[in-house]
Amino acid sequence: MKIPRPENFFSLESRFETLKENWMRSDEKFHTDPLTHVSYQEIIKFGEVMIPYIIEEFFRNHENWIPALEEITRIQTPNPDQISNDVIDFWVNWAKNRNYI
């Protein structure tokens, strides 16, 4: 038996990808704090369920996901002013230790 799903059903991954692409294509991305962008805010509103997708994207492309991670987790990033391998490692290890990835 197939379970009916609402027409607007989406997977978290596809929703993350859509919101991420909206933010990435935005001219605002390069001129403002990412927390001011609507799509970035939507990702944060989903909360912890988005952490695996954020971590993967952060590790792969080094985009500025620090504000989203800090908002969702309430953890302060060491040296948040620069995206370095140490900062990426910090978040990857944090996520691994909590079984997000």
What pLDDT does residue 5 have?
A: 47
Q: What is the rounded distance in angstroms from the CA atom of residue 51 to the CA atom of residue 65?
A: 10
Q: How confident is the model at residue 1 (pLDDT cuts 50, 70, 90)?
A: very low
Residues 6+ positions from 56 with CB-CB distance below 8 Å? 101
Residue 54 has a CB neighbour count (10 Å cut-off) of: 23
Q: What is the rounded distance in angstroms from the CA atom of residue 29 to the CA atom of residue 52?
A: 22
Q: Which two tokens stand for residue 73?
A: 């987790």
Residue ranges per structural domain of the chain = 12-97
pLDDT mean over 16-24: 93
Q: Which two tokens stand for residue 62?
A: 């080094």
In tens, the pLDDT along 40-92 reads: 999 999 999 999 999 999 999 888 899 999 999 999 988 767 788 889 999 99
Q: Which of 4-13, 24-33, 46-55 has the highest mean pLDDT?
A: 46-55
